């Protein structure tokens, strides 16, 4: 057994690594364990958007009705695979309750605050520590194909401006000024000028390099198999027959967090939301200048360094598996020329499609904070599609909580055992 106690993070994705970053900066000895080889995962192939504009959680009024319609379409943006699973049934019931108007309005201030905190932390890390994040602050365009879609998005824009997030409703002519290379066939859109983007694969590479240079130990292909308990503390983590002494333990295992929490006797509802993306080389004639979201299709498009156009989408609740449903990919690809007449994209080969699992809590809020069961167990997980967007803010908050310092914002909405 390694007897020197350390702060141990289970999970080496973007959330786990930013947690390590802030805990290391506070003077702690940090070990990170990850069951994968660290070369892929949900932190790598996503759209790389930093989006304070996404202050409305997935669980919101109307989503149940839309979801039921989408269930009948194999190419739809949202799908729940019907199966006999108590975990899914419980999660679904909590999701249904969270989609109420009152619950959604309670969630909005928390999502807004952590989004703005996280964006500010992205700025700071690049300025103070030499950690190159690649943050590009250009804004984001929400494209609305239909008048109804534009009306709904305009309502969100009005709401955004009331809570301090700048948003501007724009017509087709204004869209053409922003994206002169694309022939947008839309009713209009909304421009969120405070949003940003980056290349998540480059960010992950730079973040790992920074941590390793600063003596944070990262163990890949290292799956934690069990825990040792001593009174009200987790005293050690088990890696096969190896044992590592714990000072404080943080669970940041994404879509695997429910199963990990279960080993500790804690109920933490998380469902894996599968998403797909395709990365293409930008064509000068049709170069996209701004990140965008095709609202009705729920498809994200990001032009990212060096010359990549990444197109991704869908939320497929089908358990923890990385099987590729090409019908869902087809739905993503078909939506692009429907919004941009001169942007025709061929259906990719299966091997060219990236797939990742987003950890979804029922109410759309992450789990950030101290366990009620153990005095040295913390959670930082459940960020759904917002992992990259919220990672620095989440890492900063959990470090403040662990070190018993004043927190940067109200974290009451992120209590890990709020569904227990």
Of the candidates 272, 328, 276, the residue with the CA atom closest to the CA atom of residue 91: 272
The pLDDT assigned to 238 comes to 95
How confident is the model at residue 74, as a pLDDT? 67
Domains of the chain: 2-414 (3.50.50.60)
pTM: 0.95
H helices of 132-256, in order, are: 147-162, 172-178, 200-213
Q: What was the pLDDT predicted at 94?
A: 94
Terminus-to-terminus CA distance in the chain, angstroms?
A: 33
What pLDDT is stored for residue 356 in this prediction?
94
- Per residue in 184-209, pLDDT (tens digit) is 999 999 999 999 999 999 999 999 99
pLDDT of residue 414: 98
Distances, alpha carbon 217 to alpha carbons 30, 212, 399, in Å:
7, 6, 17
What averages of pLDDT result for each successive group of 10 residues across the chain (420 residues)?
Answer: 83 97 97 90 85 92 71 73 86 92 95 98 86 94 97 97 98 97 97 97 95 96 96 96 96 97 97 95 94 96 94 90 93 96 95 95 97 98 96 98 98 96
Residue 350 has what DSSP assignment?
Answer: G
**CA 17 → CA 12, 31, 198, distances in Å?**
6, 10, 17
- At 250 the pLDDT is 98
pLDDT for position 303 = 97
| pLDDT (0 to 100) of residue 68 | 64
Cα 156 to chain centroid distance, Å, stands at: 21
Residue 183 and residue 219 in contact, taking contact as beta carbons nearer than 8 Å: no
Q: What is the pLDDT of residue 232?
A: 97
State residue 129's pLDDT score.
80
């Amino acid at each position: 057994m390694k007897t020197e106690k350390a702060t141990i993070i289970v999970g080496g994705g973007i959330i786990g690594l930013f947690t390590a970053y802030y805990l290391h900066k506070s003077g702690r000895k940090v070990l990170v364990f990850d069951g994968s080889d660290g070369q892929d995962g949900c932190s790598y192939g996503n759209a790389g958007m930093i989006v304070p504009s996404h202050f409305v959680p997935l669980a919101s009024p109307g989503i149940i009705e839309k979801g039921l319609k989408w269930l009948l379409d194999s190419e739809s943006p949202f799908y729940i695979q019907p199966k006999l699973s108590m975990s899914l049934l419980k999660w679904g019931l909590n999701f249904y309750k969270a989609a109420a108007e009152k619950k959604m309005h309670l969630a909005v201030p928390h999502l807004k605050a952590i989004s703005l905190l996280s964006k500010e932390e992205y700025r700071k890390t690049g300025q103070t520590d030499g950690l190159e994040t690649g943050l590009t602050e250009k804004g984001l365009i929400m494209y609305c194909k239909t008048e109804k879609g534009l009306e709904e998005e305009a309502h969100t824009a009005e709401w955004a401006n009331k809570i301090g997030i700048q948003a501007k409703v724009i017509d087709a002519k204004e869209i053409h000024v922003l994206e002169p290379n694309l022939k947008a066939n839309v009713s209009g859109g909304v421009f969120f000028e405070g949003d940003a983007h980056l290349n998540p694969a480059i960010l992950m590479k730079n973040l790992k390099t920074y941590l390793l240079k600063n003596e944070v130990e990262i163990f890949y292909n290292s799956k934690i198999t069990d825990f040792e308990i001593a009174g009200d503390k987790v005293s050690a983590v088990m890696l096969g027959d190896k044992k590592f002494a714990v000072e404080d333990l943080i669970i940041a295992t994404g879509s695997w967090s429910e199963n990990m929490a279960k080993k500790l006797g804690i109920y933490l509802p998380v469902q894996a939301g599968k998403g797909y993306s395709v990365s293409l080389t930008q064509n000068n004639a049709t170069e996209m200048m701004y990140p965008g979201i095709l609202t009705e299709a729920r498809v994200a498009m990001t032009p990212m360094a060096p010359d990549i156009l990444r197109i991704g989408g869908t939320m497929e609740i089908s358990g923890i598996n990385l099987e590729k449903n090409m019908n869902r990919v087809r739905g993503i690809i078909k939506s692009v020329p429907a919004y941009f007449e001169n942007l025709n994209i061929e259906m990719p080969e299966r091997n060219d499609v990236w797939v990742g699992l987003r950890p979804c809590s029922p109410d759309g809020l992450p789990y950030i904070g101290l366990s009620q069961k153990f005095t040295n167990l913390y959670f930082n997980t459940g960020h759904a599609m917002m992992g990259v967007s919220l990672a620095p803010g989440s890492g900063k908050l959990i470090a403040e909580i662990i070190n018993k310092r004043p927190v940067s914002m109200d974290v009451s909405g992120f209590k890990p055992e709020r569904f227990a």
